[in-house]
Amino acid sequence: MATPGTSSDARWLGPGILLVVATAVVSGISTFVNGYAVAGTSSNAFVTVRNLAVAGMLLPIGLVALTRSRRRLGMRDLGVLAAIGLIGGAVPFLLFFRGLQLAAAAHGTLTASFVYRTLFVFATVFGVVALKERFHPRVALAAGLILAGNLLLLALVSPIWTPGTTYVLAATVLWAVEYSVSKRALRHLGGTTVGLGRMGFGAIFLSGYLALTGGWGTVAGFSDGQWTWVGISAGLLTVFVLTWYVGLARVDVGVATTVLVLGFPISWALQLLAVHAVPAPLAVLGAAGVTVGVLLAVGTRALRATWAYASGRTVPSV
């Protein structure tokens, strides 16, 4: 019998795709919000307390899920979760938020967002090589449409490169590696368990780093406004983690990360709203190209399964 972690049963694709789409929406909103959230504060201090808050919110959910699964975590499981926490829940967050901070100062937040959206390219390669996921020729065409669409958006509203872009690129590659490791772990661990491991161990590593660098004094000086941003960002990230890892258990990592690209047009639209700008026709064409590219990468089988699930119909096992 197929299991969620195998991504081989069409019955899992419907809810999986919907969960990943929800993650993409949250991701697009988060990227826009975080550009403002880290402004004027220490990005390291911000991300540490934010991730601690997320780990705290995930803890009861993860413990309940683990209890229901009746599975005890062994030392190997804890080691894998600790590795996921380091390369997914700690180091890339430091890099990403510092990159966003630098990019915002250079008016290049959308460029940084675009670089993050190239995560699907790295993740697809890792998925094929490390996880033996199938590669369909249509994915190459889809990648071209997605990247071209993103570039159309960027060329009109954002600098091509900023100092923060390099930081975001490094974080993006690390997350692509982590998602591949997490996908393998999801073959025998639940999505909430992996998500809690990522954020819990990540928060421990971040707390240690902040202590070594003397950053906790900065946290003590946070204003009420900064704590409000911490709460908003933490809430969004909690939803991201819950939807993403449960969805990733049901969808190939290459497909799942491609769907995440939908977050970029959402960030772009929110940026336009923030500055009361009217989208240019080419930018709209770019957003459409991204959407078509994502649909092409997902494929008709997954789209049919998603539609069947959303409409309440039974999907035959494939």
- Return the structure tokens found at 9: 């049963």
In a 10 Å sphere around its CB, with 0-12 CB exposed, 13-18 middle and 19+ buried, how is residue 36 labelled? middle
Query: If you search the block for the tokens 């299991």, which residue do you land on?
Result: 3
Closest CA relative to residue 80, chosen from 6, 171, 187, 1: 187
pLDDT reported for residue 131 = 93
Query: If you search the block for the tokens 């190939």, which residue do you land on?
Result: 252
- Which segments of 213-248 does DSSP mark as H helices, in order? 216-220, 224-248
In the chain, count of helices (H) and strands (E)?
Answer: 15, 0
The Cα 100–Cα 38 span in angstroms is: 8
pLDDT reported for residue 245 = 97
Q: How far is CA 292 from CA 143, 150, 151, in A?
A: 10, 12, 15
pTM score, whole prediction: 0.88
The pLDDT confidence band at residue 91, using thresholds 50, 70 and 90, is: very high
Tell me the mean pLDDT in the region 250-262.
93
Query: If you search the block for the tokens 């591949």, which residue do you land on?
Result: 180
Residues in the chain: 318
Q: Is 116's pLDDT higher than 90?
A: no
pLDDT tens, residue by residue, 13-30: 788 999 999 999 999 999
The residues, ordered by sequence, that sit 6+ positions from 150 with a Cβ below 8 Å of its Cβ are 114, 117, 261, 264, 286, 290
Structure-model confidence comparison of residues 85 and 108, the more confident one? 85
Question: Looking at 95-99, 274-278, 307-311, which range is the least confident one?
Answer: 307-311
Q: Is 313's pLDDT higher than 70?
A: no
pLDDT reported for residue 248 = 95
pLDDT reported for residue 316 = 42
Tell me the mean pLDDT in the region 116-123.
90
The Cα 316–Cα 11 span in angstroms is: 7
Q: How far is CA 293 from CA 64, 88, 175, 243, 287, in A?
A: 38, 26, 22, 22, 10
The residues, ordered by sequence, that sit 6+ positions from 138 with a Cβ below 8 Å of its Cβ are 296, 297, 299
The Cα 208–Cα 52 span in angstroms is: 12
The pLDDT confidence band at residue 157, using thresholds 50, 70 and 90, is: low
The pLDDT confidence band at residue 46, using thresholds 50, 70 and 90, is: very high
The Cα 17–Cα 12 span in angstroms is: 9
Structure-model confidence comparison of residues 298 and 54, the more confident one? 54
pLDDT reported for residue 115 = 86
pLDDT reported for residue 169 = 94
Query: If you search the block for the tokens 């393998």, which residue do you land on?
Result: 184
In a 10 Å sphere around its CB, with 0-12 CB exposed, 13-18 middle and 19+ buried, how is residue 291 labelled? middle
Query: If you search the block for the tokens 């491991």, which residue do you land on?
Result: 197
Tell me the mean pLDDT in the region 280-298.
89
Put residue 7 in one of left, alpha, beta given phi > 0 → left and psi -120 to 50 → alpha.
Answer: left
Tell me the mean pLDDT in the region 60-70.
87
Q: Is 153's pLDDT higher than 80?
A: no
Structure-model confidence comparison of residues 55 and 298, the more confident one? 55
Other CB atoms within 10 A of residue 317 CB:
11
The Cα 50–Cα 234 span in angstroms is: 5
The pLDDT confidence band at residue 315, using thresholds 50, 70 and 90, is: very low
- Return the structure tokens found at 126: 């890792």
Question: Looking at 110-114, 219-223, 243-247, 311-315, which range is the least confident one?
Answer: 311-315
Using an 8 Å Cβ cutoff, are 259 and 298 in contact? yes
The pLDDT confidence band at residue 317, using thresholds 50, 70 and 90, is: very low
Question: Looking at 20-29, 59-68, 172-181, which range is the least confident one?
Answer: 59-68
